[in-house]
Amino acid sequence: MLDTPKHPSRHSTSTTPIRAMRAEGQRVVVDLADGRTGKLSTRWLRLACECDACGDTVSGKRWLTPADIGASVRASSINVTAGEVGVVWDDGHVSHYGAEFLAGHAGAGSGPARFQPQLWSSDLTARLGRFSFDAVVEDDEMLFHSLRALRNHGIAMLTGVPAETEATARVAGRYGPIRETSYGKVFDLISRPDARVAGETARAQIPHTDESFRYAPPGFIFFHAIRTGAGSGGTSLMVDGFHVAALMRTQTPELFDLLTRHGVTFHREHAGEVFFSAEAHVISLDATGVVTGVRYNDRCLAPQTASEDEIDGVIEALAELTRLICDPQNQFQHQLQPGEVLVFDNQRVMHGRSAFDPTLAVRHLRSCNIDRDGVHSAFRTLARRFAPEEAETVLYQGAIF
């Protein structure tokens, strides 16, 4: 049966990045148009077929399984034409693949490229992406550019947002489904004497990630300024967790290592209502050792459990991270104005603020959360339209351990 390509990355094109392919036992040799030579696993190539009989992995209507492909599978013939590769298998099955798709796997050896975040410190001011509310709400291309800024720096600013409660969900909903938590779908942070959470006090807050006590902390956070009392304190302090992790890795590698492999417990309890507790690595790494996420909130640290030989090292690692977070050289500082929204990756960017005088002004922010996979899905979907070459890039998955 002939393969009917369904996934955009596997469609044939008019270009031919592959000159020839030939079977060599358990491997298929790929001669690329740029002169390089790569190899593909024969078993992988058979499993990558997405014809009507094999099914489509993108939609999940998939009928072929890894167990159906034996180690002895072989290609009887391979035909390379303009932008397409046809393979006849030893059992008579016929598959068609996009040449660019196969060239990407044969050339790189690992498929789509992994995105490299752009790190920042106090120098973010000149690089921060700023986007108008009207443009993001009405124009998909501008929404895509704001999503690209979130991908690059983990943070973006929206301006001209109505200082009205209804506007929070309206703009946040453009980025993905709003995640409801025990604090509600949209949460009002209003400074008050009977504060339930630290965000409702006037005290300074060390930059932190929100809700580190959850198994899966919020992915992206929207802070919509309604009233800010500009000029009376309450300056937002934003820190790139990937930047401070890189500093630790260079300056104190033994402490960095502790935060990547030793579980740290965070908790939160409102008596009779909720009791959250989660043990996780402060710094998450992928299988190659690349930082993928950060979770840290000094105010939610539970009494830690560790051996007598390790506990002081864990505390020193947390202390060093805190020192780096509190260093003004690592902080982007901004006085939020009514009508501004800070959107940021809660598993990369830590947020805090300076103290303010509650007798001079009432501070009112509206906050809501969107899961990171929803935001990344929006980015990839729009990238198909506005930057197809970026749609397949592997994005960092956050604080996943």
Residues 197-207 have pLDDT tens digits of 777 777 889 99
Q: Which CATH architecture has domain 8-108?
A: 2-Layer Sandwich (3.30)
pLDDT tens for 70-83 read: 999 999 999 999 88
Residue 195 has pLDDT above 90, yes or no: no
Tell me if residue 96 falls in helix, strand or coil: strand
CA geometry: angle 11, 27, 44, nearest 5 deg: 50
At 4 the pLDDT is: 38
Q: What is the pLDDT of residue 400?
A: 77
| pLDDT value, residue 360 | 75
CATH dotted code for 122-390: 3.60.130.10
Q: Given pLDDT bands bounded at 50, 70 and 90, which one contains residue 109?
A: low
Report residue 131: phi and psi, to 5°. -140, 140
pLDDT (tens digit per residue) in 303-343:
998 888 899 999 999 999 999 999 999 999 999 999 999 99
Structure confidence at residue 112 as a pLDDT band (50, 70, 90): confident
Query: What pLDDT, on a 0 to 100 scale, did the predictor assign at position 149?
Result: 97
Evaluate if residue 258 carries a pLDDT over 70. yes
Q: Which of 10-19, 272-281, 305-314, 359-368 has the lowest mean pLDDT?
A: 10-19
- Give Dmax over CA atoms of the chain in angstroms: 81
CA 299 – CA 296 distance, rounded (Å): 9
Res 108: pLDDT: 54
pLDDT at 113: 83
Distance CA 323, CA 268 (A): 23
What confidence tier does 357 reach under pLDDT thresholds 50, 70, 90? confident
- Asked whether the beta carbons of 228 and 234 are under 8 A apart, the reply is yes
Name the CA dihedral angle for 372, 377, 378, 381, rounded to a multiple of 10 degrees. Answer: 160
- Of 332, 344, 333, nearest in space to 368 by CA: 344
Weakest mean pLDDT among 114-123, 124-133, 301-310 = 301-310
Of 15-19, 226-230, 278-282, highest mean pLDDT: 278-282
> How much is the pLDDT for 16?
77
Which residue type, as a one-letter code, is found at position 383?
Answer: A
**In this predicted structure, what is the pLDDT of residue 363?**
80
What mean pLDDT, rounded, does the chain reach?
90
The per-residue pLDDT for 200 is 76
In this structure, what are the phi and psi dihedrals at residue 343, rounded to the nearest 5 degrees?
-110, 130
Contact 349, 221 (CB under 8 A): no
Taking the whole predicted model, whether its pTM rises above 0.75 is answered as yes
Return the DSSP state at 388. G
> pLDDT grade, residue 114 (50/70/90)?
confident
DSSP class of residue 235 equals: -
Tokens of 291: 């930082």
The residues spanned by each domain of the chain are: 8-108, 122-390
Backbone angles phi, psi at 136, to 5 degrees: -65, -40
Using DSSP, state whether 395 is helix, strand or coil.
coil
Q: Would you state the pLDDT for residue 110?
A: 56
Q: What is the pLDDT of residue 132?
A: 97
The residue ranking higher by pLDDT, 321 or 112, is 321
Element (H, E) at 11: none
Helix, strand or coil, per DSSP, at residue 158: strand
pLDDT in tens, 31-40: 998 889 999 9
In this structure, of 189-198, 221-230, 243-252, the range with the lowest mean pLDDT score is: 189-198
Average pLDDT over residues 80-92: 94
